Every structure is written in structure tokens, then in C-alpha cells.
């Protein structure tokens, strides 16, 4: 009788069935043509129950150590639970206990992303706030571009899953599967756009001006009254395609120049209220970790989400500018958040 090392899954199933029929281990070995010792070993291992887990006594944390942990968590933002406890010379505490303790005094957060501000940037932000402090912001058109990808931000693809349920499969694609560049503006309680930049077009000075001509000027600006055009202030950030000599001269020929073209301080996305509109739209199109299969489908989602933004939401954003300017001055040009 040949002797093999391991029993196959099929052989194990047959052994169980033969045992249920009352066959002895010797008879099973003959039926399967396997060594008797192999069969006996499998039966003995199957009859042994699982060893009970021995609960190790957990280390108790004193009130003094808790105070040390709290101080360390305040001094070490974004540190792991292990690093915090090690800095307090507290060892032997399992991860589950460390996290349970920290949840009572801290929260898990991501680091905030913001542009770097040096002394020059802060001075320019203060000068800008002083210059426009008495401006009627209901007459300012706030504009910006946003890129949306098929996959959306990675950090948003998580949420609660019911017990017994499996997490949905999420596709992995390079560069988020590609994306669409979107331009829009807001003024008072009105949304201008959104308009889609043609796929494959890189926005340099010439293509940016042509894009504005085909979308903003032809589809929106020309329909406005002469008094509206006279009072409107056009805002754009300091992207190279926006502030080049070519773009500035082209906008001047369109009547947007001098006081009608708002100067913009460097590294200041926190001062542009349309950034908050982008957050509203992204939260809507990527809710529940949604992904898209084509550029047209993600564009349609952007349009649908933009249509759901009502005038009151936009008005709240544009009316926040007075408070933003005061915050910039109070923080001496520092970052104010969004």
C-alpha cells in the first residue's frame, strides 16, 4: 500500500462519511488505499477540540499615567497610539486598550493641507484685505477650476459595513482613472456654469482665453445688462494662464481691466468662496465611495450636483467674504481655513 504525505480534501470527506456509516479506521484505510496511521492521525486531530484562549491579565493604567498620556497626545499630533504610550514609558498595553483610552481624550484626524505662507505672502494677504474691505462682494464673480477623477479621493472610500456583509469591491486605476477639468463661477446667489474643458486641452494663456470666449462670455456674460457689466468685478487666482500678459490684455479688450479685475494674493485658496462649492459638489458625486466608468458619466454627475446647489447656499458663501477679510486681518495674514 502506497503511503502519501497529506490527505486530499476529497479523502477527508470520504473518511467522515465512512465514520458516519460505522466503518473502522482500518477498513477506511483499506478502502482509500492509504496508510492506517495516516487515517488514525486525521481522526484523532479531528476529535480534539480547539484550545481555549487564555486571557492574559491586562495592565491597569493609573490616573497619573492617564495624565501623562493626555499631555503626550497634545504634544504629538498625528502620532500612533504606540508612539504616544512609549513616550510616557508605559509598556505592556495592547493596541485595543491604547485606542480605547485615547478615544476618551482625542480623535483620529488627517493632517490639514494648506499652501505654505511666508512673511511676504502674509503681508500681501493683509494688503489685499485692506484694499477690498469696503467692497460690495455681491458684485464680485468668483471663479476657479476643479479637476474631478473617475475614482475620487481615496480617503472617502470608507464607511460602516453591517455585520456579516462584505465590503464592496473598489477598482484601482492609475491617476484615479483619468478626470475632467471643470470651470465655474459664483456671484451673489447665482451659479455660472459649470463648464467643461475639452478633454486633452492643456490650459495655457491662449486656450484659457478661448475657453472663456466659448463658454463664459458667449453663454452667460453677453446676456447681462450694461449696468451689470459695468459694476461686475471678475476674480481669478494667480494660475500662470490667468495672469499672463496675453490673458490680461485679452480680458482688457473685453472690458475687464483695472478695478474690474480683482488682484489676488498668493497662496490664498482659503479666501475664495468657490472652493467651498467644489467641496459641496465633490461630497455629492463621491458619496458612499462612488466610482465612475467614463469621463462623460462623472461630468453628468457634476452637472447634476451643481443643479442641486440652491441660491441660498451660494449666497451664504459669497456673503462670507466680509468675515474672511476680517479673519485675515485678525490673524495678520495667516491661514483662516475654509
Which one is predicted more confidently, 116 or 2? 116
Give me the helix-helix angle, 311-318 and 274-285, nearest 10°. Answer: 140
CATH number belonging to domain 119-153+176-331: 3.30.420.10
pLDDT given at position 230: 94
Which one is predicted more confidently, 96 or 47? 96
Rounded Cα distance between 157 and 315, Å, is: 30
Cβ atoms of residues 70 and 84 within 8 Å: no
pLDDT given at position 157: 62
Which helix (H) or strand (E) is 144 found in, with range? strand 140-149
CA neighbor of 280 nearest in space, from 320, 299, 308: 308
Give me the helix-helix angle, 9-20 and 25-32, nearest 10°. Answer: 140
Rounded Cα distance between 305 and 296, Å, is: 14
Q: Is the pLDDT of residue 1 over 50?
A: no
Rounded Cα distance between 253 and 258, Å, is: 12
Mean pLDDT across 71-87: 89
Rounded Cα distance between 82 and 103, Å, is: 14
Q: Which three cell numbers stand for residue 16?
A: 467522515
CA neighbor of 237 nearest in space, from 214, 210, 203: 203
Mean pLDDT across 269-290: 92
- Give me the sheet containing 140-149, strands edge to edge: 190-196, 179-187, 140-149, 233-235
pLDDT given at position 44: 83
- 34 three-class SS: coil
Helix count and strand count (H, E) for the chain = 16, 4
pLDDT given at position 290: 86
pLDDT given at position 218: 96
Q: Which three cell numbers stand for residue 13?
A: 470527506
pLDDT given at position 49: 52
Buried b (16+ CB within 10 A) or exposed e, 225-257: eeeeeeebbbbbbeeebbebeebeebbeebebe
Per cent of the chain over pLDDT 70 is: 91
285-187-124-114 Cα dihedral, nearest 10 degrees:
-10
Mean pLDDT across 282-296: 89
Mean pLDDT across 108-134: 88
Mean per-residue pLDDT over the chain, rounded: 88
Q: Which three cell numbers stand for residue 124?
A: 500681501
Q: Is the pLDDT of residue 312 over 50?
A: yes
* Residue given cell 484615479 in the structure block: 176
Which one is predicted more confidently, 263 or 19? 263
- 148 three-class SS: strand
pLDDT given at position 168: 73
Q: Which three cell numbers stand for residue 56?
A: 492574559
Q: For residue range 122-179, what is the model confidence (pLDDT) as tens digits?
A: 999 999 999 999 999 999 999 999 999 988 876 556 666 677 777 777 777 776 678 8
pTM over 0.75: no
Amino acid at each position: 500500500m502506497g503511503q502519501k504525505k497529506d490527505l486530499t480534501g476529497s479523502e477527508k470527506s470520504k473518511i467522515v462519511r465512512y465514520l458516519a456509516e460505522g466503518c473502522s479506521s482500518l477498513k477506511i484505510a483499506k478502502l482509500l488505499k492509504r496508510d492506517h496511521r495516516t487515517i488514525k492521525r486525521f481522526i484523532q486531530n479531528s476529535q480534539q477540540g480547539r484550545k481555549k484562549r487564555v486571557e492574559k491579565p491586562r495592565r491597569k493604567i493609573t490616573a497619573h499615567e492617564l495624565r501623562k498620556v493626555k499631555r503626550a497626545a497634545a504634544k504629538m499630533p498625528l502620532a500612533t497610539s504606540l508612539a504616544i504610550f512609549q513616550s510616557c514609558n508605559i509598556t505592556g498595553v495592547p493596541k485595543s486598550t491604547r485606542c480605547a483610552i485615547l478615544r476618551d481624550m482625542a480623535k483620529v484626524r488627517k493632517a490639514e493641507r494648506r499652501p505654505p505662507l511666508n512673511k511676504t505672502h502674509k503681508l500681501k494677504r493683509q494688503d489685499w484685505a485692506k484694499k477690498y474691505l469696503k467692497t460690495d462682494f455681491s458684485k464680485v464673480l468668483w471663479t476657479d477650476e476643479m479637476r474631478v477623477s473617475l475614482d475620487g479621493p481615496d480617503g472617502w472610500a470608507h464607511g460602516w459595513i453591517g455585520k456579516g456583509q462584505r465590503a464592496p469591491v473598489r477598482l484601482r486605476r492609475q491617476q484615479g482613472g483619468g478626470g475632467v477639468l471643470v470651470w465655474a463661477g459664483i456671484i451673489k446667489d447665482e451659479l455660472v456654469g459649470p463648464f467643461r474643458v475639452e478633454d486633452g486641452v492643456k490650459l495655457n494663456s491662449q486656450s484659457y482665453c478661448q475657453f472663456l470666449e466659448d463658454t463664459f462670455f458667449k453663454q452667460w456674460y453677453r446676456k447681462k445688462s450694461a449696468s451689470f457689466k459695468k459694476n461686475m468685478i471678475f476674480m481669478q487666482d494667480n494660475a500662470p494662464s490667468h495672469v499672463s500678459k496675453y490673458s490680461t490684455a485679452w480680458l482688457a479688450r473685453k472690458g475687464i481691466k483695472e478695478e474690474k479685475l480683482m488682484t489676488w494674493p498668493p497662496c490664498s485658496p482659503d479666501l475664495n468662496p468657490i472652493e467651498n462649492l467644489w467641496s459641496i459638489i465633490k461630497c455629492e458625486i463621491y458619496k458612499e465611495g462612488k466610482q465612475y466608468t467614463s469621463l462623460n458619466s462623472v461630468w453628468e454627475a457634476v452637472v447634476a450636483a451643481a443643479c442641486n446647489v440652491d441660491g441660498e447656499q451660494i449666497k451664504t458663501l459669497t456673503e462670507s467674504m466680509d468675515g474672511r477679510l476680517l479673519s485675515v486681518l485678525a490673524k495678520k495674514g495667516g491661514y483662516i481655513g475654509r
